[in-house]
Amino acid sequence: DIQMTQSPSSLSASVGDRVTITCRASQSISRYLNWYQQKPGKAPKLLIYAASSLQSGVPSRFSGSGSGTDFTLTISSLQPEDFATYYCQQSYSTPLYTFGQGTRLEIK
């Protein structure tokens, strides 16, 4: 199975900060990498697909980059509604999908 490792596991930041979350795959997954946002008690929401494509309706302050084994999710200017947990997910080894362990983004 392809293992996905996110760093950091948790992060404190302030409104207006630029934040970067990293996701590393245990083997090359090309650009088959998605990012999700999950708020407490809610279902995950798709933010970024294919490493860098913004899902319809997602604010442009979210961006993704990377290929191979290393990927990043960047939020250019944190808004209050962005405090949540973020997950990466690989779709290279369809259908044996795997997620990262999550990064909890908290208010400083």
Partner 1 sequence: QVQLVESGGGLVKPGGSLRLSCAVSGFTFSDYYMSWIRQAPGKGLEWVSNITSSGTFVNYADSVKGRFTISRDNAKNSLYLQMNSLRAEDTAVYYCAREHFYYGSGSTFDWWGQGTLVTVSS
Q: List residues near partner 1 by CB under 8 A.
A: 31-34, 36, 42-46, 49-50, 53, 55, 87, 89, 91-92, 94-102
Minimum CB–partner distance for residue 49 and partner 1 (Å) = 5
Please say which residue, 2 or 13, places its beta carbon nearer to partner 1.
2
Minimum CB–partner distance for residue 59 and partner 1 (Å) = 17
Helices (H), 1-108: none
Minimum CB–partner distance for residue 83 and partner 1 (Å) = 17
Please say which residue, 74 or 92, places its beta carbon nearer to partner 1.
92
Please say which residue, 36 or 83, places its beta carbon nearer to partner 1.
36
| Nearest partner of 82 among 90, 91, 93, 73, judged by Cα | 73
| Nearest partner of 31 among 50, 13, 5, 59, judged by Cα | 50
Q: Is 82 helix (H, G, I), strand (E, B) or coil?
A: helix
The residue type found at 79 is Q
**Contact between residue 4 and residue 23 where contact means Cβ atoms under 8 Å apart:** yes
Please say which residue, 27 or 53, places its beta carbon nearer to partner 1.
53
